[in-house]
Amino acid sequence: MSADIWILVGVAAVGVAAVVGALVVAVRRRGSEPFAPEVATPVRERELVSVAVPAEGPTEETPPGPPVDDTPTQIEVREVARVVEVSPEQAGVTRRQFFNRALGATFATFLTGFGLASLSFLWPKLTGGFGSDVNAGKVDELLKKTVNDDGTITPVYLPEAKAYVVPAPDPLPAIYEGKNVVAGGVFALYQRCTHLGCRVPWCGASQGFECPCHGSKYSVIGEYFTGPAPRSLDRFVVELNDAGELIIKTGQIVQTPRLDRLNVPYPQGPSCIDI
Residues that bind ligand FES (CB under 6 A): 193, 195-196, 198, 211, 213-216, 227-229
**What DSSP line would sit under 124-136, residue for residue?**
PPTTSSTTSEEEE
DSSP 267: -
CB of 23 to ligand FES, least distance (A): 45
CB of 230 to ligand FES, least distance (A): 10
CB of 138 to ligand FES, least distance (A): 32
Identity of the residue numbered 209:
F
Looking at beta carbons only, is 167 or 227 nearer to ligand FES? 227
- Nearest CA among 15, 36, 28, 23 for reference residue 104: 23
Looking at beta carbons only, is 133 or 210 nearer to ligand FES? 210
Looking at beta carbons only, is 218 or 236 nearer to ligand FES? 218
Which residues partner with 236 through β-bridges?
253
Q: What is the three-class DSSP state of 52? A: strand
Looking at beta carbons only, is 193 or 248 nearer to ligand FES? 193
CA distance 100 to 26: 8
Which residues partner with 80 through β-bridges?
47
CB of 212 to ligand FES, least distance (A): 8
- Nearest CA among 163, 139, 120 for reference residue 252: 163
Looking at beta carbons only, is 210 or 245 nearer to ligand FES? 210
CB of 201 to ligand FES, least distance (A): 11
